[in-house]
């Protein structure tokens, strides 16, 4: 059943035709990924579907509730708690309608509403708290006016998911989420029963979630059935056919134009049909050819030895230890990813390496002629009032690229900024276009150390691949904070992981880190089993004393037990529970590692939504077993 339709959507943005007839039909339960180059109109189109952006022509119709997460959300309420609670107003309305149906004696309506309430839960307060915790939102009492951009987006994401809509529109939902939250979100979306339309640069998420890819290309929507991997193959084949057809059209124009340019004496008859055909060929919209960024970050300098070192570095804020006894060294060609949950201290570590923060203990050494460039998460360093031309050249007409001076217009053209963009204000650029401008400025700096904080945010998939290639051939060293799993797996030569209490450990890859976490979880499960075995032995009744000699006084009667004694069946259950708990905890650790492995999502035999649903249920089962074991232990 069709639940959302957009027909003939047209939109002009800052005098530039952005959408020129986009059509999209969304079926109930369908999961659609929207892709396209930066500035093509993905976010604008999503905003139009969600009723947030006005359009010039066309029509949008929805049959159900539509919720949207946009890139710059506006949150209702004063505090985080108020904003989150407002998202479940539908639940209060459901309860009110159910009570009214009972009062009216409308059993058919009340039964239907009661079923919906049963499915959602009668008390949503726990669901709100769990959702805020899952996405890493600030505490409930936090003031919305004082939230950072990333915190606002996490609260907005929680609101969108709590809304339980029929259609969920998500614009870059993984921005500002840590790796654990992204893994959870991926499982949640795969199990979601409603329809999803998502714009994301996270290729693993797109591959796992999307069942259809829609590309916004030259102002229209082109649909490809299947996963992201299927889209890449089908798009390549389609582009090959289109380019071949366009080459034929251009050759026909050349041939017919040459014929039409002959002198009248050279032509026996001026054939009107051929002239009409020439006009039609010339009037046809030319194919928008693929263009790519020319990004080469190499400096050409020869780096002998270590570029950056940290020895015994310790940093604290009050009683909280951020980094403790950090040891690391980087040479040319090293690309190190920093992993850890939000708020653990990744940005603080970058500031330490940059020299913006001083360590409490230890030292950070930089090699001679080290030049550092930073691409921060806030995309700072750009004045929104400047034009693109002024921001790229710092007011100059030319920039120095390597040993050559290049005109700013030609330089910006390498980053897919046409001449008509040169007078556009930086503040009017899309998030992806601003990121592209910052990448262009990185190229000008010629730095041998790059500190990149979430560099993939807002980049389109094509630019992501270009950035990956540039970093993989980079001759300096790069330190990258990223939650983009595909980017990390392809680019980074090592991982620096925060493991709590200031402990920072280096691993060769993300997979090695995940394996280490799975082993530690298994060890914790084994320790819990040992503790439960000791507790079980302590709870077991002491063996009866041997019969005393006839002359000895009779043994005192055992103290009376409180509560009802265990039955034979309960005694057996009490003895078996520790092994059952250990088995479930081991299964939980194994499933966590499996869900975190991107290769799992490419196995057609695996039912990943069912696997994730089973994994989500395990903590509750384990907790219930521990409670049962404690209850029986009190009576043993």
- Residue 106 predicted with pLDDT over 70: yes
Quote the pLDDT of residue 151: 87
**How many other β-carbons are positioned within 10 Å of the β-carbon of residue 270?**
10
Q: Are residues 536 and 610 in the same domain?
A: yes
Q: Is the pTM here over 0.75, yes or no?
A: no
- Residue 556 predicted with pLDDT over 50: no
Q: Are residues 317 and 277 in the same domain?
A: no
Residue 359 lies in a domain: yes
Residue percentage of the chain with pLDDT more than 90: 23
In the chain, what's the furthest Cα-to-Cα distance? 146
Average pLDDT over residues 470-479: 87
Average pLDDT over residues 278-300: 71
Q: Is 362 helix (H, G, I), strand (E, B) or coil?
A: strand
| Cβ proximity of 562 and 628 under 8 Å | no
Strands 31-35 and 167-171: unpaired
Quote the pLDDT of residue 198: 96
CATH of the domain at 431: 3.40.50.300
Q: How many domains in the chain?
A: 3
Residue 74 lies in a domain: no
Quote the pLDDT of residue 548: 46
Q: Are residues 486 and 568 in the same domain?
A: no
Report which of 125, 127, 172, 126 is spatially closest to residue 150, judged by C-alpha positions: 172
| Cβ proximity of 505 and 325 under 8 Å | no
CA dihedral 262, 264, 268, 274 (to 10 degrees): 60
Average pLDDT over residues 616-621: 78
Of residues 156 and 272, the one with the higher pLDDT is 156
- Residue 47 predicted with pLDDT over 50: yes
Which pLDDT band, with edges at 50, 70 and 90, does 596 fall under? low
Residue 65 lies in a domain: no
N-to-C CA span, the chain = 58
- Residue 170 predicted with pLDDT over 90: yes
Comparing 41-55, 349-363, 407-421, 480-494, which segment has the lowest mean pLDDT?
407-421
Q: Are residues 333 and 387 in the same domain?
A: yes
Q: Are residues 359 and 418 in the same domain?
A: yes
Q: Are residues 417 and 275 in the same domain?
A: no
Quote the pLDDT of residue 262: 65
Report which of 439, 377, 384 is spatially closest to residue 175, judged by C-alpha positions: 377
Which pLDDT band, with edges at 50, 70 and 90, does 550 fall under? very low
Quote the pLDDT of residue 370: 82
Quote the pLDDT of residue 539: 56
Q: Mean pLDDT in the chain?
A: 82
Cα–Cα separations (whole angstroms), residue 151 to 106, 155, 551: 44, 6, 79
CATH of the domain at 530: 1.10.287.380
Q: Are residues 624 and 501 in the same domain?
A: no
Of residues 550 and 451, the one with the higher pLDDT is 451
Q: Where are the alpha helices (DSSP H) in 494-544?
A: 510-539
Quote the pLDDT of residue 551: 45
Q: Which two tokens stand for residue 521?
A: 């979880």
Of residues 193 and 628, the one with the higher pLDDT is 193
Residue 64 lies in a domain: no
Q: Are residues 332 and 278 in the same domain?
A: no
Q: Are residues 602 and 495 in the same domain?
A: no
Instruction: Name, in order, each residue with C-beta under 8 angstroms of 76's C-beta and a sequence gap of 6 or more.
Output: 82, 83, 86
- Burial (Cβ within 10 Å: 0-12, 13-18, ≥19) of residue 278: middle
pLDDT tens-digit map of 194-203:
999 999 989 9
d(CA 189, CA 396): 48
Q: Are residues 370 and 275 in the same domain?
A: no
Comparing 23-37, 246-260, 588-602, which segment has the lowest mean pLDDT?
588-602
- Residue 530 predicted with pLDDT over 70: no
Residue 533 lies in a domain: yes
Quote the pLDDT of residue 343: 78
Comparing 290-299, 332-341, 536-545, 570-579, which segment has the lowest mean pLDDT?
536-545
- Residue 538 predicted with pLDDT over 70: no
Structural domain harbouring 613:
513-540+564-635
Which pLDDT band, with edges at 50, 70 and 90, does 46 fall under? very high
- Residue 561 predicted with pLDDT over 50: no
- Residue 523 predicted with pLDDT over 80: no
Task: Tell how far CA 52 is from the center of its chain.
Answer: 22
Q: Are residues 536 and 574 in the same domain?
A: yes
Residue 522 lies in a domain: yes
Q: Are residues 628 and 612 in the same domain?
A: yes
Residue 160 lies in a domain: no
Cα–Cα separations (whole angstroms), residue 416 to 236, 298, 435, 480, 585: 20, 20, 12, 25, 52
d(CA 59, CA 8): 7
Residue 75 lies in a domain: no
Quote the pLDDT of residue 291: 64
């Amino acid at each position: 059943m069709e639940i959302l339709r957009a027909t003939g959507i047209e939109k002009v943005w800052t005098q530039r035709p952005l959408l020129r007839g986009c059509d999209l039909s969304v079926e109930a339960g369908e999961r659609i990924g929207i892709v396209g180059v930066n500035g093509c109109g993905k976010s604008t189109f999503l905003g139009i579907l969600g009723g947030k952006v006005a359009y010039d022509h066309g029509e949008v119709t929805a049959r159900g509730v539509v919720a949207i997460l946009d890139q710059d959300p506006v949150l209702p309420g004063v505090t985080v708690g108020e904003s989150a609670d407002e998202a479940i107003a539908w639940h209060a309305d459901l309860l009110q309608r159910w009570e009214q149906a009972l009062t009216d004696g409308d059993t058919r309506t009340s039964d239907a509403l009661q079923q919906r309430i049963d499915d959602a839960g009668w008390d949503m307060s726990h669901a709100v708290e769990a959702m805020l915790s899952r996405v890493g939102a600030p505490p409930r009492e936090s003031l919305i006016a004082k939230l950072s951009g990333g915190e606002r987006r996490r609260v907005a994401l929680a609101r969108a998911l709590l809304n339980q809509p029929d259609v969920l529109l998500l614009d870059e939902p993984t921005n500002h989420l840590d790796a654990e939250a992204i893994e959870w979100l991926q499982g949640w979306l795969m199990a979601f029963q409603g329809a999803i339309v998502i714009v994301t640069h996270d290729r693993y998420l797109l591959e796992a979630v999307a069942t259809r890819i829609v590309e916004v290309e030259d102002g229209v929507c082109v649909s490809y059935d299947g996963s992201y991997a299927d889209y890449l193959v089908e798009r390549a084949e389609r582009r090959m056919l289109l380019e071949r057809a366009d080459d034929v059209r251009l050759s026909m124009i050349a041939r017919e134009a040459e014929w039409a340019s002959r002198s009248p004496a050279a032509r026996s008859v001026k054939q009107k049909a051929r002239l009409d055909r020439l006009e039609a060929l010339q009037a046809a919209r030319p194919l928008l050819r693929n263009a790519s960024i020319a990004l080469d970050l190499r400096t050409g300098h020869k780096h002998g030895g270590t570029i950056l070192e940290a020895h015994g570095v310790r940093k604290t804020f009050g009683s909280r230890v951020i980094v403790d006894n950090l040891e690391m060294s980087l040479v040319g060609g090293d690309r190190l990813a920093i992993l850890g949950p939000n708020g653990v201290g990744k940005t603080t570590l970058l500031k330490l390496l940059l020299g913006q923060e001083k360590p409490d203990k230890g030292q950070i050494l930089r090699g001679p002629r080290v030049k550092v460039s930073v691409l921060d998460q806030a995309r700072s360093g750009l004045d929104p009032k400047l034009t693109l031309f002024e921001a790229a050249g710092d007011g100059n007409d030319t920039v120095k690229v390597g040993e050559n001076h290049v005109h700013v217009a030609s330089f910006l053209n390498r980053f897919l900024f046409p001449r008509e963009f040169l007078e556009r204000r930086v503040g009017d650029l899309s998030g992806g276009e601003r990121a592209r401008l910052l990448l262009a400025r990185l190229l000008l700096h010629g730095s041998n150390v790059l500190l990149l904080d979430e560099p993939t945010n807002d980049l389109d998939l094509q630019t992501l691949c270009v950035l990956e290639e540039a970093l993989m051939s980079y001759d300096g060293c790069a330190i990258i904070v990223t939650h983009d799993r595909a980017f990390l797996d392809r680019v980074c030569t090592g991982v620096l992981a925060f493991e709590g209490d200031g402990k920072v450990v280096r691993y060769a890859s993300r997979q090695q880190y995940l394996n280490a976490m799975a082993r530690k979880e298994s060890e914790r499960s084994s320790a819990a089993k040992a503790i439960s075995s000791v507790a079980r032995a302590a709870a077991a009744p002491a063996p009866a004393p041997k019969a005393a000699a006839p002359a000895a006084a009779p043994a005192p009667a055992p103290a009376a037990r409180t509560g009802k004694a265990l039955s034979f069946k309960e005694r057996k259950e009490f003895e078996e529970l520790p092994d059952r708990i250990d088995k479930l905890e081991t299964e939980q650790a194994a499933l966590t590692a499996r869900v975190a492995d991107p290769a799992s999502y490419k196995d057609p035999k695996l039912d990943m939504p069912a696997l994730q649903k089973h994994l989500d249920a395990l903590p509750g089962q384990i907790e219930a077993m521990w409670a049962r074991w404690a209850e029986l232990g009190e009576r043993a």
